[in-house]
Structure 1
Amino acid sequence: MVARYSGASTATADCLVRTSLLLLTAVATVSRTAEAVLSVNATPEYIHPCRKSDTQFNNCIKQTFNHLRPYLINGIEELTVPPIEPLLIPKMQMENGHGAVRVRAILSNMTIHGASNYSVLNVRSDMNKFRIDLGLFIPHIEATGNYDVNGNVLLLPVRSRGDFWVSFENVTALAKLYGVEVKKEGVAFMKTDRLGVGFKLENSDFKIKDSINRQNVIGEAMNVFLNENSAEIIEEMKPAASQAIGKHFKNFLNNAFLQIPLKVWLKDSE
């Protein structure tokens, strides 16, 4: 039983890594601090503009995001958007203080491959309220990095730190963007007010190298335990992970959105 409890502690850390990274890839468009602002008369090649009056508006927005994909692979220099292949995440923190899983997790130095292979499956929008829901599909994702987890699971103490590797197959995700209109020097922009994500996946594989519990459990036993219990732990951590990731990526998305006037990508906006 001792080995199983230790396995639970370290396996829980793995579940948190998997949950956070999966949601991260659902909103993989990352940008740095904004400096320049596009002219309202500009139509860059990476922008596929739409009109709210278009009877096929949702389909147009779908084309806009799919059109953007090859440019994100190499980065967009004038918006200071770096390449997303690989996608680099310096640090992500989340905390869950309710239920059976009460932990604080920090993921750092993350390198994610495969996010650029996303495709937009469907779009639902209400641009009068600046709402956009995106259904996404990513066939394969691999990620590496460091993790640090501290807390309790079912009254069992959890303390684990080390390196991880994880892969996912056939990921479907839903990204919900809640925006507001803001003006800078009389020019209208859309600002991301909230961002939420959810996901499903078919298969996953993972390995961790715990640096503080080396003498307590065999690595293969940890992976077996995680395979048997990961679904319950991931489900428990989804709200906390979604909140942390939404807050984190909202700021990055705004660095890009607040450089592109509404009239550049929404031609009949006021």
Structure 2
Amino acid sequence: MLIFLSLFIISTFITQLNAANFVTPEYVIPCNKSDPDINACILGSFNHLRPYLIRGIPDIQVPSIEPMIIPRLVMENNAGAVRVKALFVNNTIFGSSNYTIQSLNADIDTWRINIILSLPRIEVKGKYEVIGQILLFPVRSKGDFWAAFGDVSAKVELFGKIVKNKENVRFMKIDNLLVDFKLQKSKFKIRDQVNHANVIGQAMNQFLNQNANEIIQEMKPAASASISRYFKAFLNSAFLKIPLEVWLHGA
């Protein structure tokens, strides 16, 4: 019994030592789990992080978010008037650092965080390929795209859990992430390599802009799912490199 107790004490000591030996980086403002105003502290930490996100954080392999580069997004919608599979690659996003967090609510006991944020404008450019059907018409298009979205609001629901590494150091891992968004303004432009320089390519540009709201609404579930998958991986790449005790004392 004494042997097992000794091993437990040693293991606990090593775990605390490993977390303690991780120097708190300048981009982290720690919060305390017992803080009665934990939401305000986490919000302050997010706002403090912004300039570091703009530059990128090399020591935890977090790239710059201005512009933000998303190598690949796949969206597929098999219901409604817009039934397409769309692939977007080399997506370059401008304006993502100009976010404002409207509200933040964290439940540290269940590791759930709800965030509502807004962005005045984002622009996206990259390459695309779309195959499917819009209304009753078959669509096949491939080329370069540009899009601008204004007055963007987003709701992010983050569901976390605690995991341990081989040294028994604890980290928070995002188990699930849900994104919902609204766009007040939108504009699209494509350069279709399949139907380039003909009336079909011109008609597609016109159709996209005249029916932008309807198309976005039809594709919204697929877009939300694709964006959620990307940001879950993006955030885990950071959270799984910083011990929990470093950014949340007393957890």
What is the deviation of 1:163? Answer: 0.5
Bigger proportion of residues as strand: 2
Counterpart in the other structure of 1:205: 187
Gaps of 5+ in 1: 1-36
Q: Report the CA distance shift for 1:91/1:245 in structure 2 as closer, same or farther (over 3 A).
A: same
What is the deviation of 1:99? Answer: 2.8
CA distance in 2, matches of 1:218, 1:96: 23
1:128 to 109, 124, 127: 109
1:250 aligns with 2:232: yes
CA distance in 1, matches of 2:34, 2:19: 23
- Return the index of the structure with the highest Cα Rg: 2
CA distance in 2, matches of 1:39, 1:105: 46
- Spell out the pairing of 1:142-161 with structure 2 (5 A cutoff): 142-161=123-142
Counterpart in the other structure of 1:180: 161
1:259 aligns with 2:241: yes
Gaps of 5+ in 2: 1-17
Counterpart in the other structure of 1:4: none
Counterpart in the other structure of 1:190: 172
Q: Relative contact order (C-alpha < 8 Å, sep 6+): which is higher? A: 1
| Percentage identity across paired residues of the two chains | 55
2:215 to 229, 233, 239: 233
What is the deviation of 1:138? Answer: 1.4
What is the deviation of 1:44? Answer: 1.2
Answer whether contact 1:164 1:209 (CA < 8 A) is retained. Answer: yes
Counterpart in the other structure of 1:85: 66
What is the deviation of 1:131? Answer: 0.7
Answer whether contact 1:94 1:106 (CA < 8 A) is retained. Answer: yes
CA distance in 2, matches of 1:166, 1:256: 29
Counterpart amino acid of 1:116?
Answer: S
CA distance in 1, matches of 2:73, 2:183: 21
Counterpart in the other structure of 1:98: 79
Q: Report the CA distance shift for 1:206/1:100 in structure 2 as closer, same or farther (over 3 A).
A: closer
Q: Report the CA distance shift for 1:82/1:231 in structure 2 as closer, same or farther (over 3 A).
A: same
Counterpart amino acid of 2:168?
Answer: G
